[in-house]
């Protein structure tokens, strides 16, 4: 049956099948980040007006490939690794149905390759949203469907592992908070994938032109497609927050301030997060305002409340842990004395801050029924989601990789010096790119657009000079961010291939990560430890949120009357 080894760093019992699956999924993810990131760089260099690198057809092709390879392939492969890690390893259990896990892996890989080939062949330039009646080749949809089925099998392995771990009593009490977060991600994934099947299978049949389906309704397509397209983003949010909690625990021995509050926040996600898919439909024809408002607000913003809770409790847990260690001076000694040179920490900290300020605030604002009118499909949209899925999720995944890769492979990192700088380079570079894209969006610059100078068209629109400036600055920042991504990839691949074997001693040069806690202190909440510093930071966040929210209503009030 299952074979185990014991992790020399953490003492966890590691199922060898889980070990292998985690490694293969994570490595595949990183390879696709490289591919997708290169497409992203090409796209960014084309949208930089002074460079304007690619021709129109190649630009749209690269944009299609970029969306698919990063949003779908990189992120979901990595999430599979996280699901196996948080189930089998954190629960000290064997992995359920490892063969199914491998089947899932192969389906995902084959699917990703098929879709990439379809895109590169040139007849499937439809963007990753593939809105009908634009039509791609049938194998474009087929690849995505296979990929999704593979991911669904991964979720089944995860739930199976939860089931057997409980039955075989490999742990006592409730699953760890981190596993609970991963479970939230897996639940959302099941809805996401099922929804995707409902829309993509008919669309594939339609593209095959065999008389089974001769028309797919555009509005229905958008409703159902976004049930997948947006919910998949919510998988990312849940997975990324699980990573935040995990890193807080690994580096600081931090306990959640309150299991009850944090788990309830995840419950809000499970119930309501997916409703937000409707914020893509706010300016679509014919849907009622009741539908739009209830759904886009995630049911009275209860899921946003969940996010605001995690935003307090993650740094709060770190503050409590640091204060217990004696960093008790003033409001912020705990933060100042945090290991800012350790990429596991700095990546996570930047991810929390940038996700909140750049991705979170703007997402809620764009998802407001009327405010969406002045942002829909402008560059504000990619600006917003590079604030979520790039400097939030991708950065969180990078941060935890700096811990997972050396630990699972038992190797020293090959470029520890560059690793120190990498989260700043990537986070701040892509964060700036996101801000400039949003700036361009407020000036009306369209997304998915090859030439805002309209050089080839009979008539055009003259954008203000500031718009070109914003797009230029977005380009420069994207280059910096891409460099950050490249350093991460080289470091990970290099470490795995050529890293020196770890000497089994506390090798870290950083202020000692928490000594593996003894059983007596390893569970439970942080008690009623006060976290004044975090509270102040949270209020700064809220103030920014409120101000920026109302600024946008003021912008809206200035435009033409609509009724």
Partner 1 sequence: MSIFPAKGVWWNEPVEKSEVLWVSIAFLWAMIMFFMMPYWHFAGEQNLSNEAYKISPDAFVEKTENFAAKYTVREDAATGIPVVAPPAGSDVYIFGRTFEWWPMLELEQDKSYRFHISSADYMHGFSLLPENINLQIIPDYEMVLTITPTSSGEFSIVCNEFCGIGHHNMVGKIFVK
Partner 2 sequence: MSADSSGNIPFMQRLLDSPFVLLALGVLVPTVIYTVWGVVEALSIPMAP
Residue ranges that bind partner 2, judged by CB under 8 A: 159, 162-163, 174-175, 180, 183-184, 187-188, 190-191, 194-195, 217, 219-220, 223-224, 227, 231, 260, 263-264, 267, 270-272, 274-275, 277-278, 281, 285-288, 291, 294-295, 299
Question: For residue 44, what are its two tokens?
Answer: 């960014």
Query: Pattern 308-347, binding to ligand HEM, x per CB under 6 A?
Result: ----------------------------------------
Instruction: Name the one range near partner 1 by CB under 8 A: 25-33, 176-184, 225-233, 481-489.
Output: 176-184
Write out the DSSP string of 236-298: HHHHHHHHHHHHHHHHH-PPPS-HHHHHHHHHHHHHHGGGGGGGGSTTSTT--HHHHHHHHTH
- For residues 242 and 239, give the distance between their C-alpha atoms in angstroms, rounded to a whole number: 5
Question: For residue 448, what are its two tokens?
Answer: 């998915």
Question: For residue 453, what are its two tokens?
Answer: 């100078």
- For residues 252 and 470, give the distance between their C-alpha atoms in angstroms, rounded to a whole number: 40
Does 41 bind ligand HEM (CB under 6 A)? Our answer is yes
Binding to ligand HEM, residues 113-132 (CB under 6 A): 127-128
Does 75 bind ligand HEM (CB under 6 A)? Our answer is yes
Picked from partner 2, ligand HEM, partner 1, none, the partner binding residue 128 (CB below 5 to 8 A depending on kind) is ligand HEM
Picked from partner 1, partner 2, ligand HEM, none, the partner binding residue 71 (CB below 5 to 8 A depending on kind) is ligand HEM
Picked from partner 2, ligand HEM, partner 1, none, the partner binding residue 322 (CB below 5 to 8 A depending on kind) is none
Closest to 501 in 3D by CA, of 406, 404, 400: 406
Residue among 123, 209, 210, 217 that touches partner 1 (CB under 8 A):
217
- For residues 71 and 386, give the distance between their C-alpha atoms in angstroms, rounded to a whole number: 10
Does 85 bind ligand HEM (CB under 6 A)? Our answer is no
**Residue 265 neighbours by CB under 8 Å, 6+ apart:** 305, 306, 307, 309, 310, 313
Nearest residue (CB) to partner 2, 175 versus 251? 175
Shortest Cβ contact with ligand HEM: which residue?
40
Binding-site size, partner 1 (CB under 8 A)? 116
Query: Pattern 334-373, binding to partner 1, x per CB under 8 A?
Result: ------------------------------x---xxx-xx
Give the nearest distance from C-beta 291 to partner 2 in angstroms: 6
Please, where are the H alpha helices in 289-415?
A: 289-296, 298-324, 333-336, 343-354, 361-366, 380-385, 395-409
| Region of residue 524 (phi > 0: left; psi between -120 and 50: alpha; otherwise: beta) | left
Phi and psi torsions of 547, nearest 5°? -60, -50
Give the nearest distance from C-beta 253 to partner 1 in angstroms: 6
Instruction: Name the one range near partner 1 by CB under 8 A: 17-25, 276-284, 352-360, 414-422.
Output: 276-284
Picked from partner 1, ligand HEM, partner 2, none, the partner binding residue 301 (CB below 5 to 8 A depending on kind) is partner 1
Give the nearest distance from C-beta 414 to ligand HEM in angstroms: 21
Q: How far is CA 413 from CA 23, 148, 310, 488, in A?
A: 16, 33, 31, 11
- For residues 214 and 203, give the distance between their C-alpha atoms in angstroms, rounded to a whole number: 10
Question: For residue 486, what are its two tokens?
Answer: 């490249």
Picked from ligand HEM, partner 1, partner 2, none, the partner binding residue 224 (CB below 5 to 8 A depending on kind) is partner 2
Question: For residue 399, what are its two tokens?
Answer: 């941060």
- For residues 232 and 72, give the distance between their C-alpha atoms in angstroms, rounded to a whole number: 8
Which residue is listed with tokens 């610059």? 445
How many residues make up the chain in this entry? 563
Half-sphere CA count of 359, side-chain side, radius 13 A: 30
Picked from partner 2, ligand HEM, partner 1, none, the partner binding residue 421 (CB below 5 to 8 A depending on kind) is none
Q: How far is CA 340 from CA 20, 139, 420, in A?
A: 31, 46, 8
Closest to 33 in 3D by CA, of 401, 413, 342, 340: 401
Binding to partner 1, residues 285-344 (CB under 8 A): 285-289, 293, 297, 300-302, 304-305, 308-309, 312-313, 316-317
Residue 329 three-state SS: coil
Query: Pattern 425-454, binding to partner 1, x per CB under 8 A?
Result: -----------------xxx-xxxxxxx-x
Binding to partner 1, residues 45-74 (CB under 8 A): 56-57, 60
Picked from partner 1, partner 2, ligand HEM, none, the partner binding residue 194 (CB below 5 to 8 A depending on kind) is partner 2
Question: For residue 324, what are its two tokens?
Answer: 């217990």
Which residue is listed with tokens 């920014």? 544
Half-sphere CA count of 520, side-chain side, radius 13 A: 0
Does 557 bind partner 1 (CB under 8 A)? Our answer is yes
Give the nearest distance from C-beta 130 to partner 1 in angstroms: 10
Residue among 125, 236, 274, 401 that touches partner 1 (CB under 8 A):
125
Residue 161 three-state SS: helix
| Region of residue 301 (phi > 0: left; psi between -120 and 50: alpha; otherwise: beta) | left
Does 280 bind ligand HEM (CB under 6 A)? Our answer is no
Nearest residue (CB) to partner 2, 270 versus 321? 270
Residue among 50, 120, 546, 547 that touches partner 1 (CB under 8 A):
546
Residue among 390, 404, 425, 438 that touches ligand HEM (CB under 6 A):
390
Nearest residue (CB) to partner 1, 169 versus 506? 169
Residue among 4, 327, 424, 549 that touches partner 1 (CB under 8 A):
549
With contact defined as beta carbons under 8 Å apart, do 95 and 87 qualify? yes
With contact defined as beta carbons under 8 Å apart, do 257 and 526 qualify? yes
Give the nearest distance from C-beta 72 to ligand HEM in angstroms: 9
Return residues touching ligand HEM (CB under 6 A): 37, 40-41, 43-44, 47, 63, 66-67, 70-71, 74-75, 127-128, 382, 386, 389-390, 394, 447-448, 478, 481-482, 485
């Amino acid at each position: 049956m299952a074979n185990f080894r014991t992790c020399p760093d953490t003492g966890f019992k590691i199922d060898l099948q889980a070990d292998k699956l985690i490694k293969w999924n994570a490595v595949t993810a990183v390879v696709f980040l490289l591919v997708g990131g290169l497409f992203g760089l090409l796209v960014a260099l084309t949208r930089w007006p002074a460079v304007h690198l690619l021709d129109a057809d190649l630009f749209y092709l690269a944009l299609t490939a970029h969306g698919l390879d990063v949003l779908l392939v990189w992120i979901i492969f990595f999430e599979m690794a996280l699901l196996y890690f948080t189930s089998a390893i954190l629960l000290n259990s064997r992995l359920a149905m490892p063969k199914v896990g491998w089947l899932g892996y192969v389906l995902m890989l084959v699917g990703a390759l098929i879709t990439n080939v379809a895109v590169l062949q040139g007849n499937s330039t439809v963007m990753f949203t593939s809105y009908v009646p634009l039509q791609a080749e049938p194998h474009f949809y087929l690849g995505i469907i296979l990929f999704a089925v593979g991911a669904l099998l991964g979720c089944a392995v995860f739930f199976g592992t939860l089931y057997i771990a409980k039955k075989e009593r490999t742990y006592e009490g409730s699953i760890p908070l981190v596993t609970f977060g991963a479970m939230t991600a897996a639940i959302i994934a099941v809805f996401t994938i099922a929804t995707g099947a409902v829309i993509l299978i008919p669309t594939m049949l339609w593209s095959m032109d065999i008389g089974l389906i001769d028309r797919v309704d555009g509005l229905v397509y958008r409703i159902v497609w976004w049930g997948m397209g947006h919910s998949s983003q919510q998988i990312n949010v849940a997975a990324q927050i699980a990573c935040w909690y995990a890193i807080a625990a690994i580096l600081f021995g931090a306990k959640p301030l309150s299991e009850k509050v944090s788990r309830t926040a995840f419950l809000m996600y499970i119930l309501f997060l997916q409703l937000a898919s409707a914020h893509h439909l706010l300016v679509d024809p014919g849907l009622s305002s009741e539908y739009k408002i209830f759904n886009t607000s995630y049911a009275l913003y209860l899921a946003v409340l969940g996010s605001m809770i995690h935003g307090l409790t993650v740094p709060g847990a770190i503050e409590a842990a640091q204060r217990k260690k004696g960093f008790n001076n003033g409001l912020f000694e705990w933060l100042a004395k945090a290991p800012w040179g350790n990429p596991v920490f700095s990546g996570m900290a930047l991810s929390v801050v940038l996700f909140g300020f750049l991705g979170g605030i703007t997402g809620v604002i764009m998802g407001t029924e009327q405010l969406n009118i002045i942002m829909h499909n402008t560059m504000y949209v990619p600006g917003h989601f590079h604030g979520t899925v790039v400097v939030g999720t991708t950065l969180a995944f990078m941060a935890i990789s700096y811990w997972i890769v050396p630990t699972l492979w038992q190797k020293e990192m090959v470029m520890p010096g560059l690793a120190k700088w990498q989260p700043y380079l990537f986070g701040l570079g892509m964060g700036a790119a996101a801000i400039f894209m949003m700036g361009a969006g407020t000036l009306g610059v369209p997304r998915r657009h090859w030439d805002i100078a309209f050089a080839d068209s009979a008539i055009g629109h003259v954008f203000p000079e500031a718009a070109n400036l914003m797009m230029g600055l977005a380009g420069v920042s994207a280059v910096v961010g891409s460099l950050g991504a490249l350093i991460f990839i080289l470091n990970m691949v290099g470490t795995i291939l050529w890293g020196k074997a770890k000497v089994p001693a506390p090798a870290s040069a950083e202020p000692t990560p928490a000594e593996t806690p003894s059983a007596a202190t390893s569970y439970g909440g942080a008690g009623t430890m006060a976290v004044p510093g975090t509270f102040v930071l949270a209020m700064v966040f809220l103030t920014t949120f409120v101000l920026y929210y109302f600024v946008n209503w003021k912008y809206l009030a200035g435009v033409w009357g609509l009724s």
